[in-house]
Amino acid sequence: MKQRVWLLVAILATTSVILLAGCGESSPEVSSTTVTSAVTETTTATTGQTATTTTPSAEAPDKVFKLTMANFFPPTNYHSVLVEQWIAEIAQRTNGGVLIEYFPGSALVAADKTYESVVGGMADLAMSVVSYSMGRFPAMELLDQPVGHISPWITSKMQQDFYEEFRPVEFDDTHVLYFHGNNLSHVLLANKPVRKLADLKGLVIRSSGVGVQVAGALGATGYAGTMAEGYELLSKNVVDGSISGLDALTGWKQAEVVKYLAPLGPCTHSAALYCIMNNDVWDSLPEEYQNVFAEVSVEMPGKHGMVWQYYDRTAVDHLLSLPGRELIEIPADDLPAWEKVRVAVVDKYKADKQGLGLPVDDYLKFIEERTAFWTAEAPTDAECVTWVESELKE
């Protein structure tokens, strides 16, 4: 069902959101209400997940937890719309016991400052990208590497499994709610086409994290910048292109300034995204409310995966509907050169991270196994488009 909640602003306007601005820590009110719950289980075909549902009592809570959430996605992006629905579902299942004021479009904190803002309490919850904080998440950075990504839905499910299996300590200073992985990376080019690997030499290519490394390995000059900066960088010819997912064409409106779209072949990679909560805020919530967050979050990797896949399917059609646009294919005889670059990128990650004592070979084996598992369960592109248009599109 469609839900656009502009997110309890009317309620929050008449209540106080207590923020300790001096120390940057948030202090939600602690509810004294004990919520009596009923529990049911359902399986959702499109997300491939069995979800436990807690139904709170009809009794209004004595106290309300008033939280803030930061997100870099613009409000019209379907990932942002999906987060709005998640927030509304939490409010409903807690019977108004948890109200979240939502700040999309980096309105509360900058995208590359998001994680530390949650650790420090500037935001209670947030969504952002692992690669915006390169070096801080050495284990999870592997999920951004060109390690055989097939579709964003499969990648999203695999990434959640990876975190639950290995629980990297790098995220211990927040409470992780879920992960998802963006659509498969392409090169979005403003004016200069890339028809073979050699054409990238000398170009300046925007990306973040692993994308910057891949750009350099392909012979281009990597330019570190967030997705929100991409449109301006392309339109002003600061960069020649951008390595990103296809949602940039529509969700970030970059089709307006992109003429050529080229795949990365074997070097296709993804980006891990996280949804997190401040640890102190999590610990302050009653167990019943913690259960609601966990239950509502369990389907989110699959739902975000379907949104990413929707953009994969529809963004190219949108780009090609504009005059003078072109979708480029890599010639078969050029693919071995791209594969050589892919191997070099992954080998460098292995060498660097094994030096930190990380079990990289175990990580890679797990990624391969879970990718194969979720491939057998994956929805089709058409199913993802239908779901998004039914559940999120106005």
Instruction: List C-alpha distances in Å: 383 to 1, 83, 108, 306.
Output: 16, 20, 34, 8
Is 243 found in the same domain as 124?
A: no
- CB atoms under 10 Å from CB of 391, counted, come to 18
**Is 126 in contact with 71 (CB distance < 8 Å)?**
yes
Record the tokens describing residue 7, joined without a space: 């997110």
Is the four-CA dihedral 347, 217, 330, 340 of positive or negative sign? negative
Where do we find the tokens 């509304």? 88
Is 265 found in the same domain as 192?
A: yes
CATH number at residue 231: 3.40.190.170
Record the tokens describing residue 146, joined without a space: 């060109």
Average pLDDT rounded to a whole number, residues 57-63: 76
Is 135 found in the same domain as 25?
A: yes
Is 35 found in the same domain as 79?
A: yes
CA angle 36, 41, 43 (to 5 degrees): 150
Give tens-digit pLDDT for 218-230: 999 999 999 999 9
Residue 25 domain flag: yes
Q: Where are the strands (E) in 33-109, listed by range?
A: 38-44, 49-55, 65-71, 98-103
Query: pLDDT band at 209, cuts 50/70/90?
Result: confident
Number of domains in the chain: 2
Is 195 found in the same domain as 177?
A: no
Is the four-CA dihedral 128, 146, 317, 379 of positive or negative sign? negative
Residue 319 domain flag: yes
Report d(CA 288, CA 156) in Å as an integer. 27
Q: What pLDDT does 52 receive?
A: 54
Domain that holds residue 58: 17-139+159-181+273-300
Record the tokens describing residue 195, joined without a space: 């028809």
Q: Map residue 72 onto helix, strand or coil.
A: coil
- Burial class from Cβ neighbours inside 10 Å (0-12, 13-18, 19+) for residue 120 reads middle
Q: What pLDDT does 58 receive?
A: 60
Is 323 found in the same domain as 249?
A: yes
Residues 6+ away with beta carbon under 8 Å from 236:
none
Report d(CA 386, CA 380) in Å as an integer. 10
Q: What pLDDT does 183 receive?
A: 85
Instruction: List C-alpha distances in Å: 352 to 130, 135, 141, 211, 358.
Output: 17, 11, 12, 17, 9
Report d(CA 192, CA 352) in Å as an integer. 34
Average pLDDT over the chain, rounded to an integer: 88
Where do we find the tokens 């108004």? 96
Is 233 found in the same domain as 117?
A: no
Give tens-digit pLDDT for 82-94: 999 999 999 999 9
Closest CA to 99 of 221, 192, 6: 6
Is 263 found in the same domain as 176?
A: no
Give tens-digit pLDDT for 340-389: 999 999 999 999 999 999 999 999 999 999 999 999 999 999 999 999 99
Is 223 found in the same domain as 170?
A: no
pLDDT over 80 at 40, yes or no: no
Residue 353 domain flag: yes
* Phi, then psi, of 13 in degrees rounded to 5: -65, -25
Give tens-digit pLDDT for 6-27: 343 333 333 333 333 333 334 4
End-to-end C-alpha distance for the chain, whole angstroms = 10
Is 195 found in the same domain as 65?
A: no
Average pLDDT rounded to a whole number, residues 100-124: 97
Give tens-digit pLDDT for 278-327: 999 999 999 999 999 999 999 999 999 999 999 999 999 999 999 999 99
Task: Mean pLDDT check: name the lowest of 35-44, 255-264, 327-336, 375-384.
Answer: 35-44
Is 225 found in the same domain as 134?
A: no
User: Which one has a higher pLDDT value, 311 or 40?
Assistant: 311
Given the DSSP bridges, would you call strands 49-55 and 221-224 parallel, antiparallel or unpaired?
unpaired
pLDDT over 90 at 37, yes or no: no
Give tens-digit pLDDT for 145-200: 999 999 999 999 999 999 999 999 999 999 999 999 998 899 999 999 999 999 99
